[in-house]
């Protein structure tokens, strides 16, 4: 029988995650606006576009990503010189390739946005510098794939390896558990293309610490970073944002980049990784409560 992989949702962490994805995508789209680049937003554990919390449907990360990107395009004054596209991939049959396109259609209709019949092209109205609507619209190409995260990261790597220097990729990594994330492939991608790539990871700090604890008492455990600090440290030279945790499992979001955003996003709980507050957040996420209290006394 085929194994069904659950799409986890938690009351404390999931709405906060969706807000984080929307805001980070919006910020990234704005930053790339005038760079004449081809920017790929890739959600490599995309799910089916919806989460249910206490019986209520909320957006899944692909829709949050689109909300952030489309929100940025609608707020721009003047057409962007960069082109944007999205890739949504998930290993489970039909999740990215069947259910998700239907949700994208419902979402686009609810926003009054034009979406091609095959769901692969979204057209967004643009304003000129004077605030008037332009004839030209921004075209956002959408790709839906049934693929493992390893396959998707390797594919992104091959795209970035091509000669065109103006390719960029902003990747969202949201595995059910840390052992599903393609750590080695992401690190290789970073080592080869760090100036073209930004990686945003939604990770439970508690799960990382639990795996480390089990390894320390001799249990065979998957190869994952020991804690959030080790996870960030594996991406050499990365700065970016770290978010305050949510829930007992300390779900956090780390946005890793070589190009530190000019400001932090404290309203949403994000601080700069290389700030004192960032160091304290990373310490809190990386130590047990007992260790943290001892070292901050």
Judged by CB under 6 A, does residue 51 bind ligand SAM?
yes
Closer residue to ligand SAM (CB): 21 or 30: 21
Out of 19, 31, 95, 243, name the contact with ligand SAM by CB under 6 A. 95
SS3 70: helix
Q: Is 46 in the site for ligand SAM (CB under 6 A)?
A: yes
Using CB under 6 A as the binding rule, whether residue 87 contacts ligand SAM is answered as no
Burial class (CB in 10 A: 0-12, 13-18, 19+), 247: middle
141-170 residues in contact with ligand SAM (CB under 6 A) are 148-149
Q: Does 125 contact ligand SAM by CB under 6 A?
A: no
DSSP string, 194-220: TTTEEEEEEEEHHHHHHHHHHHHTT--
Q: How far is CA 177 from CA 72, 150, 222, 224, in A?
A: 31, 15, 11, 10
CB contact at 8 A, 159 and 193: no
212 exposure class (CB count in 10 Å sphere: 0-12, 13-18, 19+):
middle
> Which of 22, 28, 92, 281 is close enough to bind ligand SAM by CB under 6 A?
92
What are φ and ψ of residue 278, in 5° steps?
-65, -45
Q: In angstroms, what is the minimal distance from the CB of 169 to ligand SAM?
A: 16
Cβ at position 147, least distance to ligand SAM in Å: 7
d(CA 241, CA 274): 8
- Which positions from 249 through 268 interact with ligand SAM, judged by CB under 6 A? none
Nearest residue to ligand SAM by CB is 60
Which of 60, 101, 178, 261 is in the footprint of ligand SAM by CB under 6 A?
60
Binding of ligand SAM at residue 180 (CB under 6 A)?
yes
Q: Which residues form the interface with ligand SAM (CB under 6 A)? A: 5, 7-8, 17, 45-47, 51, 60-61, 90-92, 95, 148-149, 174-176, 180
């Amino acid at each position: 029988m085929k194994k069904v992989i659950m799409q986890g949702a938690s009351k404390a962490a999931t709405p906060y995650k969706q807000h984080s994805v929307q805001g980070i995508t919006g910020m990234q789209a704005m930053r790339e606006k005038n760079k004449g680049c081809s920017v790929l937003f890739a959600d490599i554990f995309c799910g089916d576009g919806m989460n249910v919390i206490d019986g209520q449907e909320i957006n899944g990360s692909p829709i949050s990503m689109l909300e952030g990107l489309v929100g940025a395009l609608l707020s721009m004054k003047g057409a962007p010189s960069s082109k944007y596209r999205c890739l949504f991939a998930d290993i489970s049959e039909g999740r990215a390739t069947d259910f998700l396109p239907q949700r994208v259609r419902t979402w686009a209709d609810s926003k009054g946005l034009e979406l091609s019949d095959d769901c692969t092209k979204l057209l967004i109205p643009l304003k000129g510098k004077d605030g008037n609507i332009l004839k030209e619209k921004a075209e956002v190409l959408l790709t839906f794939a049934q693929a493992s995260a390893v396959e998707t990261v390797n594919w992104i790597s091959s795209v970035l390896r091509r000669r065109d220097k103006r390719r960029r990729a902003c990747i969202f990594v949201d595995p059910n558990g840390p052992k599903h994330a393609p750590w080695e492939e992401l690190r290789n991608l970073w080592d080869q293309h760090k100036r073209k790539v930004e990686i945003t990871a939604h990770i439970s700090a508690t799960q990382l610490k639990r795996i480390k604890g089990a390894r320390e008492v001799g249990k065979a455990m998957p190869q994952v970073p020991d804690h959030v600090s080790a996870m960030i440290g594996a991406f050499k030279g990365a700065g970016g944002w770290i978010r305050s945790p949510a829930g007992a499992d300390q779900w956090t979001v780390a946005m890793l980049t070589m190009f530190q955003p000019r400001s932090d996003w404290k309203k949403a709980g994000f601080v700069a990784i290389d700030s004192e507050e960032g160091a304290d957040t990373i310490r809190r996420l990386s130590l047990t409560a007992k260790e943290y209290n001892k070292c901050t006394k």
